[in-house]
């Protein structure tokens, strides 16, 4: 099947994670993505560890398949190089604080005057307007302000850090991609582009929809770790086996809970985890701690009760299930070493063939293609 974005041109002025992952998804679906970076060092992610022969793994994972142009956006030549690209571009993605692109002469109104059909996507922590629009922040701040972090912050002595970058990816990358695609469809119907104002803190709200229903609409007080989905019930929490490996018990429905209780031989008087949640959880923990995870894993799998042993990222990458589905078949070339590319939530029929090997362009590699001065080693 032809990649759906094969005729789409994307100008990428973003850095680090939310924007680069969004443009990576567009590139994997066939779009031509031109990444603009500062001359000399490129974007900061090029400098991050770990590296393979001096090439940042994190940068390569997020930026393969894109063209790289090293360009000082404040220079006199910048607009001469950018104007012909702006005239034909379909999408522009930027991740500066509000007002920065305007000062560079690349704000939405200026670009729209050149290309009325441009889909201009701005990704920020708090949006283009509002009291916090200019505030600095990172994922931890955004999930904190959205109320999500308070739901499972862990003990005060050792607060639990979020395992995933919910605001950066879930509140930034995904909404950006979804709305860019919606805007492209809308442009087909009306011919006009639009300015997409993506606020990572706002996008994070959807990840705790149940907290919105229970805490905002119903007005219930939600305690950290005290709700059904954050460890408030024995049937949905993490337990530690004798070998230190953790077991994820997700037996929410009664049939799964009873099947799990049968596996660990939980006494009938403790199976009602609503009447005395602490006593129930304590006994579940005691019983699971009595055997290793290798003992429990086949028993839980046979019971089919939504209970699994936690895997490390390295273990997950070689899991037979993911291998059978080809999740890690897409490869990436980092300084000559062939490694698995980051799995992306794009259907196989839309993304680049699994047999192709991606590569991140060297800084300024594509300068000659677009009329910019060659960018040699600094």
Which residues are known catalytic residues?
A: 138, 168
Extract the runs of DSSP E, i.e. beta strands, from 134-269. Answer: 194-199, 236-240, 246-250
Pick from 41, 21, 45, 47: nearest CA to 33 = 21
Give Cα 283 distance to the centre of its chain: 37
> What's the angle, vertex CA 360, arms to CA 356 and CA 366, rounded to 5?
110
Distances (CA, A) of 27 to 75, 83, 299, 346: 28, 22, 43, 11
Q: Judge whether 45 and 53 are in contact, CB under 8 Å.
A: no
Q: What's 159's DSSP letter? A: P
Query: What phi, psi does 165 have (nearest 5°)?
Result: -85, 75
**Which sign does the torsion angle of CA 254, 257, 262, 265 carry?**
negative
Q: How far apart are CA 366 and CA 146, in angstroms?
A: 40
Q: Judge whether 145 and 201 are in contact, CB under 8 Å.
A: yes
Matching residue, tokens 């639990």: 160
Q: Judge whether 247 and 239 are in contact, CB under 8 Å.
A: yes
- For the stretch 187-194, contacts whose Cβ atoms lie closer than 8 Å and that sit 24 or more positions apart, written own/partner, are 187/117, 187/119, 191/116, 191/117, 192/116, 192/117, 193/112, 193/115, 193/116, 193/117, 193/118, 193/119, 193/120, 194/119, 194/120
């Amino acid at each position: 099947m032809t990649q759906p974005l094969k005729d789409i041109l994307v100008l990428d002025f973003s850095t680090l994670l939310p924007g680069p992952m969004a443009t990576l998804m567009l590139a994997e679906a066939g779009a031509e993505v031109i990444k603009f970076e500062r001359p000399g060092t490129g974007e900061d992610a090029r400098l991050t560890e770990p590296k393979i022969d001096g090439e940042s793994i994190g940068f390569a994972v997020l930026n393969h398949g894109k063209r790289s142009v090293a360009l000082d956006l404040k220079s006199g030549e910048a607009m001469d190089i950018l104007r012909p690209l702006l005239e034909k571009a379909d999408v522009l993605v930027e991740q500066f604080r509000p007002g920065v692109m305007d000062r560079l002469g690349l704000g939405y109104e200026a670009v729209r005057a050149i290309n009325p059909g441009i889909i201009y996507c701005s990704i920020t922590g708090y949006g283009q307007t509002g009291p916090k629009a200019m505030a600095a922040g990172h994922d931890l701040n955004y999930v904190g302000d959205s109320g999500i972090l308070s739901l499972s912050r862990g003990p005060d002595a050792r607060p639990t850090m979020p395992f995933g970058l919910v605001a950066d990816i879930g509140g930034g990358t995904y909404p950006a991609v979804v709305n860019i695609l919606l805007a492209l469809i809308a442009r087909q119907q009306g011919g006009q582009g639009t300015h997409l104002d993506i606020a990572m803190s706002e996008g994070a709200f959807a990840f705790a929809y149940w907290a919105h229903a229970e805490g905002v609409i119903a007005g219930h007080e939600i305690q950290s770790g005290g709700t059904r989905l954050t460890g408030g019930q024995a049937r949905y929490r993490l337990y530690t086996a004798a070998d230190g490996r953790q077991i994820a018990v997700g037996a929410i429905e009664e049939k799964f809970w009873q099947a799990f209780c049968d596996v660990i031989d939980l006494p009938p008087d403790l199976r009602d985890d609503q009447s005395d949640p602490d006593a129930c959880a304590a006994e579940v923990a005691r019983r699971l701690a009595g055997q290793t995870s290798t003992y429990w894993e086949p028993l839980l799998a046979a019971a089919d009760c939504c209970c699994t042993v936690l895997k490390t990222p390295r273990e997950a990458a070689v899991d037979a299930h993911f291998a059978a589905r080809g999740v890690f078949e897409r490869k990436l070339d980092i300084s000559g070493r062939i490694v698995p590319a980051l799995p992306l939530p794009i259907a196989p029929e839309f993304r680049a063939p699994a047999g192709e090997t991606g590569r991140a362009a060297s800084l300024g590699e594509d300068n000659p293609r677009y009329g910019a001065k060659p960018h040699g080693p600094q």
